[in-house]
């Protein structure tokens, strides 16, 4: 009789989870996995879009700088490159003109971003112009 009592108490101590708790844990794990998958997909998608936008911006900036310094025909010095890449407002201040609007200058808008830096070197690999 004592042997049966020990087996009964051992069976009683082995407490299994009820169906309610199994469903709750299963649902929690399922929701977590769906959230994790959604977060990973969202991160991958957004980082791809942002990377593509940065590549486009860099390509546009390089094209704009090349078109501005192309007229120098390889004779780069700091004055000629600065004149080509920095705006000059010949209009008197206070006048309203499309030429005087610095924000319509494509080079200024390309170089005004904090993450953009441009360095121009001459044929002797010396720094002629730098915007950091």
Q: What is the pLDDT of residues 35-66, one digit of tens each?
A: 999 999 999 999 999 999 989 988 888 888 88
Which residues are CB-neighbours of 108 under 8 A, at least 6 positions away? Answer: 87, 102
- Full-prediction pTM beyond 0.85? no
- Higher confidence at residue 14 or residue 103? 14
- Higher confidence at residue 126 or residue 108? 126
Flag the least confident range among 65-69, 83-87, 89-93, 104-108.
89-93
d(CA 115, CA 132): 8
∠ CA 74-80-84, rounded to 5°: 95
Q: What is the DSSP string of 12-63?
A: HHSPPPPHHHHHHHHHHHHHHHHHHHHHHHHHHHHHHHHHHHHHHHHHHHHH
CB 118 within 8 A of CB 129: yes
DSSP H or E stretch at residue 66 = helix 19-69
- Higher confidence at residue 10 or residue 126? 126
Residue 29 has pLDDT above 60, yes or no: yes
Q: Among residues of the chain, what percentage have pLDDT more than 90?
A: 28
User: Quick one: pLDDT at residue 132?
Assistant: 72
User: Quick one: pLDDT at residue 105?
Assistant: 64
21 CA to centre of own chain: 43
User: Quick one: pLDDT at residue 91?
Assistant: 44
d(CA 29, CA 7): 35
């Amino acid at each position: 009789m004592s042997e049966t009592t020990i087996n009964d108490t051992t069976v009683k101590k082995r407490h299994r989870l009820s169906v309610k708790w199994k469903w709750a844990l299963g649902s929690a794990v399922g929701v977590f996995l769906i959230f994790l998958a959604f977060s990973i997909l969202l991160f991958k998608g957004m980082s791809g879009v942002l990377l593509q936008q940065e590549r486009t911006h860099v390509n546009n900036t390089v094209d704009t700088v090349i078109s501005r310094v192309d007229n120098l025909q390889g004779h780069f010095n700091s004055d000629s490159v600065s004149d080509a890449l920095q705006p000059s407002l010949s209009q008197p201040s206070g006048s309203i003109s499309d030429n005087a609007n610095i924000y319509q200058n494509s080079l200024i808008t390309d170089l005004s971003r904090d993450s953009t830096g441009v360095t121009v070197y001459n044929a002797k690999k010396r720094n002629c112009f730098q915007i950091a």
